[in-house]
Amino acid sequence: MSHVVSSTAKTEADRKIALLDATAGVLVKHMPAIAAAVGLVVLWQFVVWAFKIPTFMAPSPVDVAYAFRDNAGILWTNMLPTILEAFLGFVFGNLVAILLAIWFVHSATAEKAFYPIAVFIKAIPIIALAPILVLIFGNGLAPKIIIAGLICFFPTLVNMVQGLKSASPAMLDLMRVLSASNTEILWKVRLPSSMPFLFAALKIAATSSVMGAIVAEWIGSSFGLGALIIEATYNFRSPLLYATVVIAAVLAVVLFFIVSVIEARMIRWKPAGSH
């Protein structure tokens, strides 16, 4: 941000100070969490050292840090497909769920017909579904995207149906007195009032989409963080395994964070009943 052409030197300095203040503020606010995390890592190092635990069983934090440095290339090339799968799965899974929810709200018959099927699909263990999809779609990106999408799909469908129905009867009466069409009611009332429900689901979906992609990569895949986890486990490369797990977790947290930021920007009103 510092090389924005129009900004003068003074405002740039101001901005830097403001940025520093903000960073310090965040650090202070999250001090207990940071202290607890550092403490746990130190404890982990101490336990591994004190009980002389072999590296293949449980590597120390220092070993994991070395694994990051030594395997940076492998980790990077395997992270990219997982990000892509999780992202596309997130987009498609949620998109289908949102469209289906809109259909359900406008057609009671559609809801009665397909809601039980959606519940049944949700009931199939995702790990059991993975081999089936690999058999159908082969070993490429497609089965991974589908599994990541499926994992996002259900929470979003349930929340979105509830959200679209959350508009108060009085609001719907108001729209009727105004002779609003169904499309107008959807855009002006139902969709906006469903947003808090949608984002609650999207935050769940953000983290589970990464999990879905990794689980899909366990089944006969040659790329991705999931494949790397399997490979590192069978070869007793425990520090690499741990490094992969850390990256997967960070990935999920970053996605969660992005969704939270978008939510904070979009929903600046309080849902009805909370005032």
The residues of the shown chain that bind another protein, judged by CB under 8 A, are: 168, 170-171, 173-181, 184, 188-189, 192-193, 195, 267-272, 274-275
Residue 126 contacts residue 144 (beta carbons within 8 Å): no
Residue 85 contacts residue 145 (beta carbons within 8 Å): yes
CB of 191 to another protein, least distance (A): 10
CB of 173 to another protein, least distance (A): 6
Whole-angstrom distance, CA of residue 143 vs CA of residue 165: 33
Shorter beta-carbon distance to another protein: residue 91 or 200? 200
Residue 183 contacts residue 161 (beta carbons within 8 Å): no
Shorter beta-carbon distance to another protein: residue 175 or 213? 175
CB of 178 to another protein, least distance (A): 5
Shorter beta-carbon distance to another protein: residue 30 or 176? 176
Whole-angstrom distance, CA of residue 99 vs CA of residue 86: 20
CB of 190 to another protein, least distance (A): 11
CB of 274 to another protein, least distance (A): 8
Shorter beta-carbon distance to another protein: residue 119 or 174? 174
Shorter beta-carbon distance to another protein: residue 108 or 177? 177
> Would you give the DSSP letter of residue 141?
S
Whole-angstrom distance, CA of residue 253 vs CA of residue 249: 6
Instruction: For residue 269, give both structure tokens.
Output: 């009103």
Residue 126 contacts residue 212 (beta carbons within 8 Å): yes
